[in-house]
Amino acid sequence: MLGRLNHVGLATPSIAHARDRYARLFGEAAVGAPFDLPERGVKVCFVDAPNTQLELIEPLGDASPIAGFLARNPAGGQHHLCFEVADLDAAMADAQAFGMQALGVPRLGAHGTRIVFLHPRETGGILIELMEAPDDGH
């Protein structure tokens, strides 16, 4: 049902500081430019690790969906895991058949493809993002 790990979402109170840290760890060429997703209430920056991506996420605006996470984890931390799926609707049906609940309806994610999150209550406390990547996704 799930494909490969596409990215690990990391919440941070400062994308500028986090970007500097990962530029030292992976090299400047591996770190993209931060960009705003105002409709999602986040600022995002991708880091290319050798076998996956990191998605640095900073709150944008008072109603940001990661504001609560950072209130509980002021230094930031691991926020979600994102796995690729070939067919998002089929993957959601599979997940629901296993008793997992989608958080809302699919929408466009930071990569411009359809995504949905699964509630961590049924996934061992891990927030899982499913990302439709019909043709490899990279």
Q: Which one-letter DSSP state was computed for residue 136?
A: -
> Among residues 9 and 59, whose Cβ is nearest to Co ion?
9
Does 118 contact Co ion by CB under 5 A?
no
Q: Answer yes or no whether residue 59 interacts with Co ion by CB under 5 A.
A: no
84 binding Co ion? (CB under 5 A):
no
Strands 77-85 and 128-132: parallel
Closest by CA position to 91, among listed 40, 123, 129: 129
Tell me the C-alpha distance between 116 and 103, whole Å: 7
Beta strands 77-85 and 35-37: pairing type?
Answer: unpaired
Q: Report the run of H or E that residue 28 belongs to, with start and end.
A: none
Q: Kindly state whether residue 58 participates in binding Co ion, applying the rule CB under 5 A.
A: no
Start-to-end CA span in the chain (Å)? 19
The yes or no reply on residue 132 touching Co ion (CB under 5 A) is: no
By CB under 5 A, residue 55 contacts Co ion? yes
Q: Which stretch binds Co ion (CB under 5 A): 27-35, 66-74, 85-93, 122-130?
A: 122-130
Mark the segment that binds Co ion (CB under 5 A) among 3-11, 13-21, 66-74, 96-104: 3-11
Q: Does 76 bind Co ion (CB under 5 A)?
A: no
* Segment interacting with Co ion, rule: CB under 5 A, options 36-44, 61-69, 80-88, 93-101: 80-88
CB of 137 to Co ion, least distance (A): 12
Find residue 37's DSSP bridge partners: 42
